[in-house]
């Protein structure tokens, strides 16, 4: 069953999804709502350039240079008929020219435009284009004002996406959900993936120690408590 947030994806866009790492923010952005025109991921880093956003001239197999579109431009064009979706991960790490370019690509449809330096063609977002930004920061006040104004809707993700949990053995679902948003005590979903895989070939305690370190005992105890709780329900 889809959650109320998933049902309202088209109405809420554009928006920022914020949460601890590895809670399924990117997965939800790439897979839910109207993605008929395709979904394109942009991972923001301090070292990225505007080429990642709009594109750049790149060498080809003919020994010449041709224009290769960036993630935002690909999302604008979509499938050629319907605009796609841009999912910009860790937007708080983008700065300077990159952030300015991203803001230009996420302007209102009536204002957004970009000229291709190779062809002179003026690109505009096709109908259906959508954009979602994600961040791991906990304090939304830390976002640049320009981003806050451009993305007034913020959704806090406090549980792993249900589809992501299907990759885990069922006995780990409860503990994975409870520790995904546990502050300093949180354990990422990826850690549980690793533990689940290791325990199939190693003793459970050894697998836990390899993945969870000095927290292995407490996490194994929490798993036992969760297992007993499920049995008594």
Distance from C-alpha of 173 to C-alpha of 160, rounded to nearest angstrom: 10
Last residue of a domain, one of 156, 171, 199: 156
Domain identity same for 170 and 114 = no
Percent of the chain with pLDDT over 70: 88
Q: Is residue 84 located within the same domain as residue 37? A: yes
Prediction pTM value? 0.74
Q: Give me the mean pLDDT over the 78-91 stretch.
A: 92
**Same domain membership, residue 140 and residue 64:** yes
The answer on 104 and 182 residing in a single domain is: no
Q: In this predicted structure, what is the pLDDT of residue 110?
A: 85
Find the domain containing 138 and state its range: 4-156
What value, to the nearest 5°, has the Cα angle with vertex 215 and ends 213 and 220? 110
Crossing angle of helices 216-232 and 173-180, in 10° steps, is: 120
99 and 73 within one domain: yes
pLDDT digits (tens, 9 = 90+) for 111-160: 899 998 888 889 999 999 988 888 877 777 777 787 778 887 777 777 78
CB 176 within 8 A of CB 189: yes
**What are the pLDDT digits (tens) for 14-50?**
656 655 566 667 877 788 788 889 999 999 998 999 9
Interatomic CA distance for residues 83 and 75, integer angstroms: 6
Among 132, 156, 180, the domain boundary falls at 156
Query: Looking at the structure, do residues 76 and 145 belong to the same domain, yes or no?
Result: yes
Q: Is pLDDT at 82 greater than 90 in this prediction?
A: yes
Same domain, 54 and 137: yes
Residue 55 sits in the same domain as residue 145 = yes
Instruction: Provide the number of structural domains found in the chain.
Output: 2
- Whether 109 and 176 share a structural domain: no
Distance CA 99, CA 113 (A): 16
Between 143 and 73, the higher pLDDT residue: 73
Statement to judge: residues 142 and 166 lie in one domain: no
Residues 128 and 78 sit within 8 Å (Cβ to Cβ): yes
Residue 124: CATH number of its domain: 3.40.50.300
Do residues 57 and 88 both lie within one domain?
yes
Residue 180: phi, psi to the nearest 5? -70, -25
Assess whether the previous peptide bond of 14 is cis (omega < 30° from 0). yes
- Identify whether the C-beta of residue 147 lies closer than 8 Å to the C-beta of residue 14: no
């Amino acid at each position: 069953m889809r959650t109320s947030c998933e049902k309202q994806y088209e109405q809420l866009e554009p928006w920022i999804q914020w949460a601890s790492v590895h809670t399924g923010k990117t997965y939800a952005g790439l897979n839910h709502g109207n993605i008929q025109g395709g979904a394109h991921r942009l991972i923001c880093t301090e070292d990225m350039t505007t080429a990642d956003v709009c594109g750049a001239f790149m060498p080809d197999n003919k020994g010449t240079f041709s224009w290769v579109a960036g993630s935002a431009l690909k999302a604008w064009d979509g499938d050629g008929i319907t605009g796609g979706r841009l999912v910009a991960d860790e937007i708080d790490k983008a700065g300077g020219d990159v952030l300015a370019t991203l803001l230009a690509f996420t302007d209102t449809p009536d204002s957004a435009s970009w000229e291709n330096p190779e062809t002179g063609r003026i690109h505009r977002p096709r109908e259906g284009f959508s954009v979602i930004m994600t961040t791991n920061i906990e304090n939304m006040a830390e976002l640049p004002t320009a981003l806050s104004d451009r993305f007034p809707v913020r959704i806090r993700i406090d549980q792993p996406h249900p589809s992501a949990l299907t990759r885990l053995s069922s006995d780990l679902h409860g503990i994975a959900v409870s520790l995904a948003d546990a502050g300093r005590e949180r354990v990422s979903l990826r850690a549980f993936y690793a533990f689940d895989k290791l325990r199939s070939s190693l003793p459970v305690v050894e697998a836990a120690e390899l993945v969870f370190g000095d927290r292995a005992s407490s996490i194994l105890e929490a798993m036992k408590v969760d297992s007993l709780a499920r049995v008594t329900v």
